[in-house]
Homo-oligomer: A and B are copies of this chain.
């Protein structure tokens, strides 16, 4: 999957070394554009998003959006790439000691939603996927790779795909009710209570007796 962040591909080679500001600034600007793009895709959809509108929200020259992301499709694909920190923390929790893994995974999911940058990414993916088939396809592919695969690969029984998928069903519902819809007691309780109530469910799905 392309990150859409390469800046020089396809440009005449004599420009490759042309300075366009310190490397750090480039990363900062590209990230500012991505933040604005995620908000726009979530709110207005793919059809309603324009490179010019994203540039305005990000407070950058529209030419820079073209320069970094080339097309609206390039911008969408880059906006849907999970932050490295999020996938790394998920992989770490998925590999934690199995007896504490339920709590570790809930803490990681809750932590992601309580980090504004990751929350904005997750929220944007969920809302954009509701009305853009391309975004839904990305969500499903990334979900299978970074959530289901990460969790099932550290289980060793025949039910590991079922276990990972059951785990994900509880985590997604936690995300929707607490963070996206903000409905009911789960939207009001402390993070510690979320971990306390949900971890036993995740733990059973991971290594408990399945079925009734």
B186 and A140: CB pair below 8 A?
Answer: no
User: In the complex, A169 Cα to B170 Cα: how many Å?
Assistant: 7
Instruction: From B136, B170, B197, B205, give the contact of A162 (CB < 8 A).
Output: B197
Query: A178 within 8 Å of B by Cβ?
Result: yes
The listed residue (B130, B175, B185) touching A164 by CB distance below 8 A is B185
Range of interface residues on A (Cβ < 8 Å): 35 or more
| A37 → B minimal CB distance (Å) | 16
- A88 on the B face (CB < 8 A): no
Chain B contacts for A131, CB-based, 8 A: 42-43, 45, 127, 130-131
Closest Cβ of chain B: how far from A207's Cβ, in Å? Answer: 14
- Say yes or no for A144: interface residue by CB 8 A criterion: yes
Q: Tell whether A184 pairs with B164 under 8 Å between CB atoms, given A131-B45, A170-B169, A210-B197.
A: yes
Instruction: List the B side residues contacting A47 at CB < 8 Å.
Output: 48
Q: State the CA gap A33–B211 with chains docked (Å).
A: 42
Closest chain B residue to A127, Cβ basis: B130
Say yes or no for A65: interface residue by CB 8 A criterion. no
Contact with B along A126-147 (1 / 0, CB 8 A): 1101110000100110011000
Flag whether A161 is at the interface (Cβ < 8 A): yes
Residues B161 and A184 in contact, CB atoms below 8 Å apart:
yes
* Residue A173 at the chain B interface, CB threshold 8 Å: yes
Q: Does A189 contact B (CB under 8 A)?
A: yes
The minimal Cβ–Cβ distance linking A179 to chain B, given in whole angstroms, is 11
